[in-house]
Amino acid sequence: MDKARLLEELAAEIRVCPLCRLCETRTHAVPGEGNATARIMFVGEGPGEKEDLEGRPFVGAAGQLLNTLLEQAGIARDDVFITNIVKCRPPGNRVPLIDEVEACNDYLMAQIAIIEPKIICPLGSPALKTLLGPDLKITQARCKVFRKSGILFIPLYHPAAALHRKELMSTVQADIMVLKELIDREIREDEITDLTPKVPPVCDASAEADENPAPANLSLF
């Protein structure tokens, strides 16, 4: 089955999702949209009012700014995939609660598994913390390259940040050009911070038994 069909089947499930309280206040769930084989995936925080009404991601003011930024960087919106850590609008555009993010996480992980992007751009602090860990700060992590489970992550400010704080506009514009420069070349290993969880070595029970043989008088027979 092709990736586009898998994404659409997942989207159909998301549209009727009952897993958290956000389903009670949504107009439409917003699964995400874009290229099913996208090299780059953008992950924001959650749908806003306009997204909730239309069922599409990033179609409000922040989405219009994102479109402008992508155009400035020569990145076609049709070539990327855009979604959020939660698929339904939190009331009043509040930050999603932990249990809401957890309820939606399997959907996000499934989208990533289907698309297999080379680069994921978390947009803003909630997306950064969800995807890479609660201790990271967007002010320090933006435009840096992280690796986790074989995927590269390049966090950026959420476009809404520049709408709320006009002094960030030039920073957001500069950051998208940094992203463009990074995706247009081979990223060096010394530029990457690896966050892949370390797997502890598997204990070889047979080898341990050979090194520490049981005394003969402890035999069960």
Q: What is the pLDDT of residues 182-207, one digit of tens each?
A: 999 999 999 999 998 876 666 554 44
Report the alpha-carbon distance of residue 110 to residue 81 in Å, rounded: 13
Residue-level pLDDT at 204? 53
Q: Closest Cα to residue 81, out of 123, 53, 48? A: 123
Residue-level pLDDT at 112? 98
Instruction: Return all residues near 199 (Cβ < 8 A) that are at least 6 apart.
Output: none
Low-confidence ranges of the chain (pLDDT < 50): 205-221
Residue-level pLDDT at 116? 97
Residue-level pLDDT at 198? 75
Q: How many CB atoms lie within 10 A of CB 13?
A: 13
Residue 44 parent element (H or E):
strand 40-44
Structure tokens at 21: 């309280």
Report the alpha-carbon distance of residue 153 to residue 144 in Å, rounded: 8
Residue-level pLDDT at 213? 44
Q: What is the pTM of this model?
A: 0.89
Q: What is the CATH number that goes with domain 3-195?
A: 3.40.470.10
**SS3 assignment, position 147:** strand
**What phi, psi does 145 have (nearest 5°)?**
-110, 125
Residue 50 parent element (H or E):
helix 49-54
Residue-level pLDDT at 201? 63
Strand 81-84 and strand 145-148: pairing?
Answer: unpaired
CB-based contact 93:48 (threshold 8 Å): yes
Structure tokens at 42: 């953008």
Question: Domain locations in the chain?
Answer: 3-195
Residue-level pLDDT at 197? 84
Cα 8 to chain centroid, rounded:
18
